[in-house]
A and B are shown apart, each in its own frame.
Chain A
Amino acid sequence: MRWIAVWRRNFLVWRKLLVASVLSNLADPLILLFGLGYGLGALLPSVAGMSYIAFFAAGTLCSATMFTASFESMFSGFSRMHGQKTWDAILYAPVTIDDVVAGEIVWAASKAWLSGATILAVAAAFGLAASPIVVMALPVAFLVGLAFAAVGLIMTVLAKNWDFFSFYMTLIMTPMTMISGVFFPAEQLPAPVLAVAQALPLYHGIELVRPLVAGSWPTSVPVHLAVLLAYAAAAYAIALYFARRRFSA
């Protein structure tokens, strides 16, 4: 259980920089949510049976969780691994690279969960998520965080420099955000594009969260959970493989 010490180290740093960290993780998604939600929402009577801002709040919850998890495991993780050599220092102790990888992924997922949970709280405070079953979105947010933290960490342990992350951000994350139903229902996309979205994790997170925000149970829950879990588990295994290769070769 030494990975908890790694998680705890990151938590303590986060706690020291609390205000700046929370602000930077929440300001962007909340501005976007209220700006687009009310601005664009005024033009749209309802989307998929709910107000546009409620529809968009569910998408924002998932995309903000995704971005927080990815930024933490990629940029902050790379800084700890490569810039500050924090991982090297940890590895002199009786902690293995497996513990470091696990600690980093769970940490990034925790931080991402907090982003998602805060957005949910704000949405609930504005009356956008009235039903109590919306709390079920909280474990989903953690799972979304785990999946993207693990995928992000693959990039980190493969990265030679900071530029490496722009490929993943620009070529994968940004298009995925567009097609996964954050801003508009993914079902209105052409079938091949929808199929791509369905092969990626963000879509499944949104499919689970959006009905919960609207106050109803999602459909095909096992499928959505399975895809998110599969991404988290597979990405964890791949990140571990490359981390071992990078550190113990």
Chain B
Amino acid sequence: MKQADFVNIVMPFKDKVFRLAKRLLVSREEAEDATQEILLKLWKNNKKIEDYKNVEAFSMTMTKNFCLDRLKSKQAQNLKIVHNNYTDGNTSLQKQVEAKDSVDWVSKIMEDLPEQQKIIVQLRDIEEYDFAEIAKMLDMNETAIRVNLSRARKTIREKLTNTHGYGIK
């Protein structure tokens, strides 16, 4: 496979890889680094890619795994210093104050979701994949995906309903 062919294959979904990476890693720079590394990995495996029918799904799975690994090693590093358990109750309030407007506030709410739910909301509500594709990417069954998605959507709604009363705009 030539580089030009590879770039043509990767072009249509490189933004999706980046957005999923950013959903999980939060920081733009880290997401860019991750995207670069994932694209390089794909390029190194380009012989294999020719065998995969759905390169895009394969790449999204790779992105998910790559970012979760990153988070795990980061967490292992931070565990000694930060006691996360204490602040749980206050983070949402603190973040709410930091949020510039209600749209920004949604992104903060998303940060507090469990990783699994973050990924599913990202793939469904933002990237608009159908459930069969998401099931393949995450190696989960569709029912489990719907359960997680429903939980995530309800959490977002509840937090938005609460704050709506306080008039964040």
Q: Do A and B bind each other?
A: no
User: Hey, which bits of chain B sit against chain A, CB under 8 A?
Assistant: none
